[in-house]
Amino acid sequence: MILYLRHMSGVNARMLAVLNAGVENYMSSPDGRDYVGTTAVTTNGRICQEWALQYPHIHNLFDQDSLFPDGSVAGAGSYCRNPNNGIRPWCYTTDPNVRWEHCDVPLCGQLRYVTLNVLQIQCNLTVILCNAYPR
């Protein structure tokens, strides 16, 4: 994945590492079937249940490695995924009263505006994420 930045001022390697850590939390397709980021909280703020576990919700995906873009159920951890080709990534929740919910994972290539305060240096950045190319 490629991160393009413009309007940078005072950017150092540590700041770029912080920005690059967030690149993986974007989907490259609208339905998120290929999403392998680390979002593990639902739209409503509930924590995701690990896919390999059967508690608090029993499900039939715990042994379906081929359905996960990570290559295995264990590799998917408790991250939001779309193993059943639904409309977007989702997860079973750790709330015993709410079986599953969708997750908010932005689509790759959408512009995000980020303001960072690192070592009291303010940087206003226009960020184009993922497999985007300079325009």
The model's pLDDT over 98-135, given as tens digits with 9 standing for 90+, comes to: 999 999 998 876 544 444 444 444 444 444 445 443 33
Same domain membership, residue 125 and residue 114? yes
- What stretches of the chain adopt beta strand conformation (E)? 4-6, 90-92, 100-102, 111-118, 121-128
Distance between CA atoms of residues 2 and 93, nearest Å: 32
Same domain membership, residue 73 and residue 86? yes
* Structural domain count of the chain: 2
Same domain membership, residue 132 and residue 101? no
Same domain membership, residue 62 and residue 4? no
The model's pLDDT over 56-114, given as tens digits with 9 standing for 90+, comes to: 999 999 999 999 999 999 999 999 999 999 999 999 999 999 999 999 998 876 544 44
Look up the domain containing 77 and give its range.
28-105
Same domain membership, residue 33 and residue 21? no
List the CATH number of the domain containing 79: 2.40.20.10
**Which pTM was predicted?**
0.66
Same domain membership, residue 36 and residue 66? yes
